[in-house]
Chains A and B, each alone.
Chain A
Amino acid sequence: MTTKLTIPISEEQIRGLKIGDQVLLNGVIFTGRDAAHKYMSDNFIKGSCPDAEKEMYEILRNGLAGGVIYHCGPVVRKRDDGKYEFVAAGPTTSIREEPYQADVIGHFGLRAVIGKGGMRDKTLAGCQEHGAVYLHAIGGAATLIAESVKEVLNVHKLDFGVPEAFWEIRVEDFPCVVTMDSHGQSLHDKVRADSERKLQAILAG
C-alpha cells in the first residue's frame, strides 16, 4: 500500500506504518550525512550548544520536530538568479550514522530518516521508542529523486562542503519504502538472516 505523508508527521501516522509499505513524502526536509551527524552529536547532544551554534540549533529544532533527515550528498547547481537547484540527489549509505541516529531522532523529535541500506539495532530501538521510521529510497536513482525536490529553501553549514552541508529542501511525492518500522521490525534483518542461512547451506553443500 502507498501512503502520502506530509511534514510535520504525527506519531499516530508513523505508528500506522509497517515494513514493506510504500510512502510518498511531502514537505520540507533536511539533508544530513556524516559531518552533519557528528556536528549535531558534538554540539547539541553530547555538548551544551556553544553560543556560536545557537542560531543553527534553533533552525534544526524548528525544522526537525515532526520532520525528516535525508542521508544524501547531492549534486547542486547554482542558477543565474543565485538560487540553488538539485541536479542529482540519491541516498547515501546510512549505516555510517548508526552511532548517532537514535540520539538525533530522540533529541530533535524526528519522525523519519531516509537513506539506503538500512540501519541496525540502536536505530531500530530508537524508532520504536520515539515513534519514527526508516525510509529506504532507491539508491542511485539520483535524477528521479532530484525531480521530486521542488525547491531549495536554504543551505546551512556549506563550509562542510556541498555533499555534507544541511540542505533545506521542499519535496513532493518523494518515493520511499518503509524498511524499519516503529514496532521493532526491520526488513533488513529479515533479508540478512534469510541470506545468511542460504549462504551456510550453499557453503556446506
Chain B
Amino acid sequence: MQDSTERLVELIKSTSTDLSPDVEQALRDAVAREADDSAAQGALNTIMENVRMSRATARPICQDTGTPIFYVWHPEGFSQRKLAEQIKNALRIATEKAYLRPNAVAALSGQNSGDNSGVDFPTIHFHEWEHDYLKIALMLKGGGCENCGVQYSIPSPELAAGRDLQGVRKAVLTAACQAQGFGCAPGILGVGIGGDRATGVIKAKEQLFRPLTDNNPDPELDAMEKQLHQEINELNIGPMGFGGKTTVLGVKMAELHRLPASFFVSIAYMCWADRRKTMTIKNGNVEITAP
C-alpha cells in the first residue's frame, strides 16, 4: 500500500484554504440579492474578499478549522489501520504548517493535544466499495455551527409538529430560527429524518457533502428542500444575523428507517465556510475536487 500522507496534507490544505466553487457561487449570488450598502451586503463582501485572500495565500478560511471528518471508500484488501495512521500523521503535519489550528482538547481537563489527535479525533468513516481506487472525502466542521445542531423527537406539542413531512418542516424552521447568533449565516442545513439518535445525526452531516446545486432523488424531499430554503430566507435573519435576505444557502435532507416508537429529526448546521473536498487516488493520479 502506497503512503498517502503527503497527499492527505494536500487534501487538508485545500479543504481549509480553498472554498469550493458551489459555495462561492452561492455567496456571490447572495451579494447581489442584498440591499446595497446594507450591513448584510457588507458582511458578504467581506466574506468574498476573505475567500479570495485565503485561496491566494493558502491560509485557513476560518481560524476554527473544525473537527476533521473523513470518509474513505477503498477497494477490497485495503489496510484501514495504515491509512488511519497516515491520516493522523497528515493532521500533525498540517497543524505544524498552520493549515489547521490545534483543535483537539481533552473533554474534562481542557488540555489541548497540540496536533489534532485525540480520543476518537479525527472522525474516520471507512467503507469498502467495488472500485479499484481510493476516494477520501474531508469535511472541516467548525465549532460555532456544530453547537447549534439539534435533534428533535416528534411528535412535539411544543413545535406543533406531527410525525410526517410537515412535522419535519416545522422542526427545521424552528432550528433555523434558533441558530441565529451561533452558526455563521448564511449556512447550510443537513437534515436526517428518522434513524436512531446517532445515525440520524451522521446522516444529517453526510448531506452537507452534497453539491449545493444538486437535486434530491426523492421528488417529495426535493420539493421540501427548496420550500425550506425559501421559507428560512423569509425569516430575515440574514448574513451574520444582521437582517437580510440570505439566511441559508441550501437545505439538504435524507430519510432513514427508524423504530416504530422513535421519530427523530436531526439537523446539522454548516456555516458559510462550508469546507469539504474530495480526493481520488486512481492509478497513481491524484485529483482533489469539490464533492
Contacts and interface: CB of A to CB of B under 8 A. Distances in A.
Contacts of A87: 59-60, 63, 98
Contacts, number: 165
A195 B237 contact: yes
Contact of B235 (A141, A144, A195): A195
Nearest to A201: B234
A143 interface: yes
Nearest to B96: A77
Interface string A161-205: 111100000000001010100000001101110111011001100
A104 to B, nearest CB: 20
Contacts of B80: none
A203 B59 contact: no
Contacts of B110: 35, 160-161, 164
Nearest to A94: B181
Interface in B53-77: 53-54, 57, 59-65
A195 B50 contact: no
A141 B142 CA distance: 13
Given A192-B180, A199-B174, A203-B173, A142 B62 contact: yes
A141 B46 contact: yes
B112 interface: yes
B46 A179 contact: no
Interface residues of A, number: 49
B62 A88 contact: yes
Interface string A122-142: 000000000000001011111
B54 A194 contact: no
B272 interface: yes
Contacts of A65: none
B37 to A, nearest CB: 10
Contacts of B43: 138, 177
Interface of B: 39, 42-43, 46-47, 49-50, 53-54, 57, 59-65, 98, 100-103, 105, 110-112, 142-144, 147, 159-160, 170, 173-174, 177, 180-182, 184, 231, 234-238, 240-243, 271-273
15 contacts: A35-B110, A75-B65, A116-B240, A136-B240, A136-B242, A138-B47, A140-B271, A142-B50, A160-B110, A162-B112, A179-B242, A191-B237, A194-B243, A202-B173, A203-B174
